[in-house]
Amino acid sequence: MLKHSFRFIVIALVTLTAWRLGLAVWQFDRIGDSSSFLQVMLGGLRIDLSIIAMISAIPLLLAPWLGHRPLCANLTAWWYRFWWVLLLFMELATPQFIAEYDARPHRLFFEYLVNPKEVSAMLFEGYKLAVSSVLGVLLVAVWGVKRLLPTQPDKPLRWWKRPVYSVAALLLCFLAARGTLDHRPINPALVAFSDDNLVNSLALNSFYSTAYAAYQLKHESNASEQYGDMPDQEVISLVRNAAGVSASSADPGQPSYHFQQAAFHPDRPLNLVIIVEESLGAQYVGALAGEGLTPELDKLATQGWLFSQAYATGTRSIRGLEALTTGFFPTPARAVLKLPRAQHGFFTLASYLGSQGYHSRFVYGGESHFDNMKGFFLGNGFDEVHDLPDFTDPAFVGSWGASDEDMFNELHRLLSQDTSPTLTVAFSVSNHSPWEYPEGRIQPVGEPACVENAIRYADWALGQFFAKAKASSYWQNTLFLVVADHDSRVYGASAVPVEHFRIPALILGPGVQPRLDDRLVSQVDLPPTLLSLMGISGSHPMLGQDLNVRSPNRALMQYGNTFGYRQGDQMLALRPGEQPEQFQVTSAGLLPLAVQQPLLDQALAHALWPSLAYRHDWYSTAGMTN
């Protein structure tokens, strides 16, 4: 067992170090210089030794006593074979994950595993070469690991050497696993040195980064364990004041509930349709000085209220749906759609409008069990969910579901049948890797299966829908919001890649004056704004602001475990285990500044508020009035 352990330690270290070296060379432009390169490699060595020590500890402790027994030697060999193949697999999966998410594997890696049908279809349709390469290397590794780690037993040790070896193994494994003599054991913050999240993640290994993300789930309801403490009453006061909510209206049991007076009074109830466009960053939208891939959306932009500085709250679809349907602030935890305490009685636009006599539905081209969308929506005020199994003869079904034109056809059919006020949230799927869409709708440019062509198709489908909507009976009494959930790929060599959080947000409908609005706003400001345009007054817990009457001049952005709070051209970044950082947002990137206490207080309060609200049930429907 001692021989097995020593062999495994050497083989695992060589494997992890060689892979990190390759990744660091690949990303050297992001690392910047040889000093930082060395920090990545040395920090990675500490992390690798920590993981290897934890894997090897039990065999090393028992080896002096049992290593000469064939059965124990055989079990130890298979133990180490399993771990080496697992470590290798995680490293093999890393380059493609970095290409998609600009970081080593983290929580998304195992969250996607609960949806094997959609994920396997996406992988085998869009990433055949990567998948086949990984599988091929793994097959060779499984064949070769028997030779690298054979099953021969050790020679028996003399009795007095056994406790000496065990004590030495215990001490060395403890020190290596802990990774430091400081108060806290090694963690990602101890090897982090850069503002670039990718560079910091290179100093980890991919098994460690994924396991650490799983470990952090137990802290997900309490952001103070990641960002620092602040008295609850100070948090409440700061976020209420920032939202313009008077202290006199505070209810200790529901501290964010307040009365919102509508700025408009339509002569009849308006339907509300929220169209959530998958992965449509502002960088692609011509009306927002982007690449010009969205001529249909650009035409619509001249007919409605377009926000040029609207920012997503996160980098995943359920984060965008969270903001747009509940107005809830982002957290380092999973979005509320997947949190257990939010599955019933959690405030949503559907529950609020339901109290006003509205019928609510969610329309999605895929299968709505993905990310627990169906469970959350049906548990919190939505009356219906229409997804792929409900579609009749869809024209095209890809890895993620029916095409956008099929989703819009279903949406148009449902709206045409309505006889009472409705809320409809419609979520597209076509602009998602592997970028599948029906032929004959657009003229592809270059490789057909690419994000640019998927956006062209999604825009075409959007234009087709609005052409039918304008000729329909529901057009004159329906308010539309067209908004993205997030950008297609959020990445960058900064604490928070601000430019990749900017998204299109366009409101069209009765009484909406066409204009370009350059104010800094967040996704969480859109639900209160829509209620005001609909003429609906009442009490709710949303701390986003009605853009008809207020100018928030701030945005909230959750980038992995980093919380970004932007106020004007100032950005405050909070990261677990690290000191807060302040930046000036410029066209050239983020410029470091000295941290100002007032901005730090605002950022920390907004980062802590949603965890408090979730933990204390402050966002329940109990306080709603109309």
CA distances from 217 to 107, 220, 376, 605, 613 (A): 9, 5, 19, 21, 18
- State the Cα–Cα distance between residues 459 and 335, nearest whole angstrom: 27
Whether the CB-CB separation of 255 and 623 falls below 8 Å is answered with: no
Q: Which two tokens stand for residue 489?
A: 């790929």
Secondary structure (3-state) at 495: coil
**Edge-to-edge strands of the sheet including 554-559?**
554-559, 562-567, 570-574, 581-586, 589-593
Could you tell me which residues are annotated as the binding site? Answer: 278, 432, 485-486
- State the Cα–Cα distance between residues 545 and 552, nearest whole angstrom: 7
- State the Cα–Cα distance between residues 222 and 623, nearest whole angstrom: 23
Whether the CB-CB separation of 381 and 351 falls below 8 Å is answered with: yes
- State the Cα–Cα distance between residues 127 and 120, nearest whole angstrom: 10
Block residue for tokens 């006020």: 421
All residues at 6 or more sequence positions from 298 whose CB lies less than 8 Å from its CB, including other chains: 285, 286, 287, 292
Cα-flanking dihedrals φ and ψ of residue 552, to 5°? -65, -35
Which is nearest to 187 in space by CA: 196, 178, 176, 195? Answer: 178
Q: Which two tokens stand for residue 468?
A: 């039918």
- State the Cα–Cα distance between residues 457 and 69, nearest whole angstrom: 65
* Residue 578 DSSP one-character state: S
Whether the CB-CB separation of 387 and 368 falls below 8 Å is answered with: yes
Q: What is the dihedral of CA 152, 156, 162, 167, to 10 degrees?
A: -10
- State the Cα–Cα distance between residues 490 and 407, nearest whole angstrom: 26
Could you tell me which residues are annotated as the binding site for Mn(2+)? Answer: 278, 485-486
What is the phi-psi region of residue 381: left when phi exceeds 0, alpha when psi lies from -120 to 50, beta otherwise? left
* 201 is annotated as an active-site residue: no
Q: Which two tokens stand for residue 348?
A: 């949503």
Q: Which helix (H) or strand (E) holds 536?
A: none
Of the residues 50, 56, 317, 351, only one is catalytic, namely 317
CB-based burial label for 465 (10 Å; 0-12, 13-18, 19+): buried
What is the phi-psi region of residue 589: left when phi exceeds 0, alpha when psi lies from -120 to 50, beta otherwise? left
Q: Which two tokens stand for residue 22?
A: 């390759």
Q: Which helix (H) or strand (E) holds 157?
A: none
List residues with catalytic annotation.
Answer: 317
